[in-house]
């Protein structure tokens, strides 16, 4: 393999990525990836970022993809460096986030031959990538370079398809790895084969891959709209979605048209924004655990969009109502009905489907603009009254729950108060990154719906707590404004290396660090009763002062009381610099207060539903 071939190979990959719209590249240092790294550096169309830890690099790239819906490319050398991308690959696959993995490799003659730093990188990430391309060793041949350009375009198209996800390009290089300039072989090749060497002269991708969104047929829309018109107790359940702004707005439009409640997960896009005439419910996690309440709020039709809700209580509610019709609307091939409660599964773009359904039901008897089905006026009035009564039940439950939560704020503080304050204080149009484990659950339970837009992002694909710091920085790099990130001390500990991203001037994060010295979520589980093993094996108190990790990166740490989180966060976001607000809490006391608040909510809701 010649240096000319290696140079042409790396530059062709980089050129096509730029032509396909990739702009963010995250690099981890290494030797075997030299051709790609220097090709990116010489190109000028990319935002290049470097991190010493491949895992943090991958999670930063993941954050970019979550926020922008455009894949970032992460580049590593060969060996275990590539293996460190795996956690982010899993999250990207499960959360449907576009991500490109460019792993340098040894040429085939050095594989399985005891060569240093050579591991088996073929399908290294198993079934998680949407596609895998094991590229050939570079050669200076026109057919090979044209194929390389086409494969690169295909990789971007698959990463951004439905569903979006990670795509792995394994790129073998032989020495010499450094690029050549003013090379006679390259010049001669470019003159003889301009398309292979330089791509299309107009700057467009070598092959433009167009993927039309799946669209429901008119008959399918009419059928579901008829079900909505005839159902007196319709419920929309909006779970986490990779497109929250568009999906959330479309869900609220349908809910208004049908005059039904929407149970809006904080990651659905439906909870935070102008509700219009929609009945947006958010406190369901605090009262749907009760069998009597679930029975009182039994639906006749459920339309589901997005992945499984964060709330275990809501999931139990859906499982417990297997009799009513449940219909899932989702565009991708990933199955989203782990409880097997759906009787209908519509593979169609949810935004298009919700909007068309809203228009259709407005023209259907008993809903919205009038009747086109010949239903008797008395039947129409009865159904309208039944829908109004159904909506009123949920409104009463929501109001009662919120009143109980508000009253509880005057008592002993708990971690739910933190998430409630954060969700209320992030500015309109701002971004909140919330960690898995307890923070996202507390946001679900205590983060009240609001009429102003708030973008909420989380790594809920696989629900891991690794890479939270880096993902938050990746999201922040796309916003132009500082974002808030709420995480626990164990998640912070997991990704201490991610604090190195604080040096990026365009990625600013105010971290609200809930420090309860261990795994507080385990106190919410029955295993908490199993001492003496519970504390050392599950709660795992670490006794670390995490201030030292922050100070190593030159970050300010401010200790804040639970009741002052809202005001402290507002000031920090206005200040515009990366910093850490540390809130110390007690695990056992927090669990006790959660139980007290849940009991108070349930009492109020039961009374309201009588």
Instruction: Provide φ and ψ at 465, rounded to 5°.
Output: -105, 5
Please, which residues bridge with residue 512 across strands? Answer: 486, 581
Contacts of 337 (CB under 8 A, 6+ apart): 328, 345
- Beta-strand (E) ranges in 213-371? 234-238, 261-264, 279-281, 301-305, 325-330, 344-347
**Taking 80 as the threshold, does the pLDDT of residue 305 lie above it?**
yes
Domains 3-198 and 415-584 share a fold: yes
CATH topology of domain 218-407: Rossmann fold (3.40.50)
* Weakest-pLDDT range from 412-416, 428-432, 508-512: 412-416
Element (H or E) spanning 159, and its range? helix 142-159
Distance from C-alpha of 261 to C-alpha of 237, rounded to nearest angstrom: 9
Taking only the tens place, the pLDDT of each residue in 158-171 is 999 989 999 999 99
pLDDT interval class at 183 (50, 70, 90): confident
Please, which residues bridge with residue 264 across strands? Answer: 238
Q: Are 99 and 48 in contact (CB under 8 A)?
A: no
In degrees, rounded to 5, the angle at the alpha carbon of residue 513 between the alpha carbons of residues 510 and 518 is 160
**Taking 60 as the threshold, does the pLDDT of residue 369 lie above it?**
no
CATH 3.40.190.290 at 3-198, yes or no:
no
Domain segments of the chain as ranges: 3-198, 218-407, 415-584
**Taking 60 as the threshold, does the pLDDT of residue 414 lie above it?**
yes
Cis peptide before 163 (omega within 30 of 0): yes
> Mean pLDDT over all residues of the chain?
92
* Weakest-pLDDT range from 114-118, 267-271, 426-430: 114-118
In degrees, rounded to 5, the angle at the alpha carbon of residue 43 between the alpha carbons of residues 37 and 110 is 30
For the segment 198-222, the average pLDDT, to the nearest whole number, is 93
pLDDT of 373:
41
Taking only the tens place, the pLDDT of each residue in 461-475 is 999 999 999 999 999
For the segment 369-385, the average pLDDT, to the nearest whole number, is 56
3-state secondary structure of 342: coil
For the segment 242-252, the average pLDDT, to the nearest whole number, is 96
Token pair, residue 523, equals 């106190």
pLDDT interval class at 410 (50, 70, 90): confident
pLDDT of 372:
37
Contacts of 181 (CB under 8 A, 6+ apart): none
For the segment 30-52, the average pLDDT, to the nearest whole number, is 97
> First CA to last CA across the chain, in angstroms?
79
Instruction: Provide φ and ψ at 115, rounded to 5°.
Output: -80, 145
Cis peptide before 176 (omega within 30 of 0): yes
Superfamily of segment(s) 415-584: Thiamin diphosphate (ThDP)-binding fold, Pyr/PP domains (3.40.50.970)
Of residues 516 and 321, the one with the higher pLDDT is 516
pLDDT of 109:
87
Distance from C-alpha of 63 to C-alpha of 82, rounded to nearest angstrom: 18
Distance from C-alpha of 473 to C-alpha of 468, rounded to nearest angstrom: 9
**Taking 90 as the threshold, does the pLDDT of residue 50 lie above it?**
yes
- Beta-strand (E) ranges in 344-469? 344-347, 431-434, 455-457
Total Cβ atoms within 10 A of residue 295: 10
**Taking 70 as the threshold, does the pLDDT of residue 375 lie above it?**
no
Of residues 114 and 42, the one with the higher pLDDT is 42
Contacts of 308 (CB under 8 A, 6+ apart): 239, 240, 315, 336, 338
Model pTM score: 0.94
pLDDT of 376:
47
**Taking 70 as the threshold, does the pLDDT of residue 378 lie above it?**
no
Percent of the chain's residues with pLDDT above 90: 81
pLDDT of 374:
42
pLDDT of 310:
95
Query: From residue 123, how far is each of 120, 129, 168, 495, 604 by CA, in Å?
Result: 8, 9, 8, 26, 54
Taking only the tens place, the pLDDT of each residue in 264-290 is 999 999 999 999 999 999 999 999 999
């Amino acid at each position: 393999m010649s240096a000319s071939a290696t140079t042409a190979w790396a530059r062709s990959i980089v050129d096509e990525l730029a032509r396909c719209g990739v702009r963010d590249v995250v690099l981890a240092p290494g030797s075997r990836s030299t051709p790609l790294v220097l090709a990116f550096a010489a190109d000028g169309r990319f935002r290049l970022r470097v991190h010493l830890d491949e895992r943090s690099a991958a999670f930063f790239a993941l954050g970019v993809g979550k926020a922008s819906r455009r894949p970032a490319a992460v580049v590593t050398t060969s060996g275990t460096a590539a293996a460190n991308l795996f956690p982010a690959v899993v999250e990207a696959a499960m959360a449907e986030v576009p991500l490109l993995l460019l792993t340098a490799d040894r040429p085939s003659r050095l594989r399985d031959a005891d060569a240093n730093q050579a591991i088996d990188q073929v399908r290294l990430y198993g079934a998680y990538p949407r596609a895998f391309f094991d590229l050939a060793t570079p050669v200076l041949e026109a057919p090979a370079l044209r194929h390389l350009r086409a494969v690169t375009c295909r990789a971007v198209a698959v990463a951004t398809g439905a569903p979006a996800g990670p795509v792995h390009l394994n790129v073998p290089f032989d020495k010499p790895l450094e690029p050549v300039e003013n090379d006679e072989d390259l010049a001669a090749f470019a003159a003889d084969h301009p398309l292979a060497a330089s791509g299309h002269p107009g700057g467009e991708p070598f092959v433009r891959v167009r993927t039309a969104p799946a669209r429901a047929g008119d008959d399918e829309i009419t059928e579901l709209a008829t079900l909505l018109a005839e159902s007196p107790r319709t419920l929309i359940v909006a779970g986490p979605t990779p497109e929250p702004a568009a999906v959330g707005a479309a869900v609220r439009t349908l809910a208004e048209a049908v005059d039904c409640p929407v149970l809006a997960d904080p990651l659905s896009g439906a909870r935070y924004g102008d509700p219009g005439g929609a009945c947006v419910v958010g406190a369901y996690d605090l009262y749907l655990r009760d069998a009597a309440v679930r029975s009182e709020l039994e639906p006749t039709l459920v339309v589901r969009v997005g992945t499984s809700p964060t709330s275990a209580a809501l999931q139990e509610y859906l499982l417990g109502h297997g009799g009513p019709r449940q219909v899932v609307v989702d565009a991708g091939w990933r199955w989203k009905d782990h409880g097997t409660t759906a009787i209908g599964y519509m593979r169609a773009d949810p935004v298009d489907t919700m909007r068309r359904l809203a228009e259709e039901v407005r023209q259907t008897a008993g809903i919205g603009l009038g009747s086109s089905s010949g239903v008797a006026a008395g039947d129409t009035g009865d159904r309208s009254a039944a829908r109004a009564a159904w909506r009123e039940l949920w409104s009463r439950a929501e109001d009662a729950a919120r009143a109980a939560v508000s009253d509880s704020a005057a008592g002993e503080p708990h971690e739910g108060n933190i998430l409630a304050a954060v969700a209320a204080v992030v500015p309109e149009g701002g971004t909140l990154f919330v960690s898995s484990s307890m923070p996202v659950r507390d946001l679900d339970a205590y983060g009240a719906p609001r009429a102003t837009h708030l973008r909420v992002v989380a790594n809920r694909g696989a629900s891991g707590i690794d890479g939270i710091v880096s993902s938050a920085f990746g999201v922040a790099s796309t916003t132009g404004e500082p974002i808030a990130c709420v995480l626990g001390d164990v998640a912070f500990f997991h990704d201490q290396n991610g604090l190195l991203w604080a040096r990026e001037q365009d990625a600013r994060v105010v971290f609200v660090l809930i420090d309860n010295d261990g795994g507080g979520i385990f106190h919410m589980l029955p295993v908490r009763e199993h001492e003496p093993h519970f504390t050392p094996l599950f709660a795992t108190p670490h006794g670390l002062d995490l201030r030292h990790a922050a100070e190593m990166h030159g970050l300010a740490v401010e200790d804040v009381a639970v009741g002052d989180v809202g005001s402290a966060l507002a000031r920090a976001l206005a200040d515009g610099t990366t910093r850490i607000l540390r809130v110390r809490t007690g695990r056992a006391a927090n669990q006790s207060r959660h139980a007290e608040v849940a009991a108070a909510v349930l009492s109020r809701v039961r009374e309201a539903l009588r």
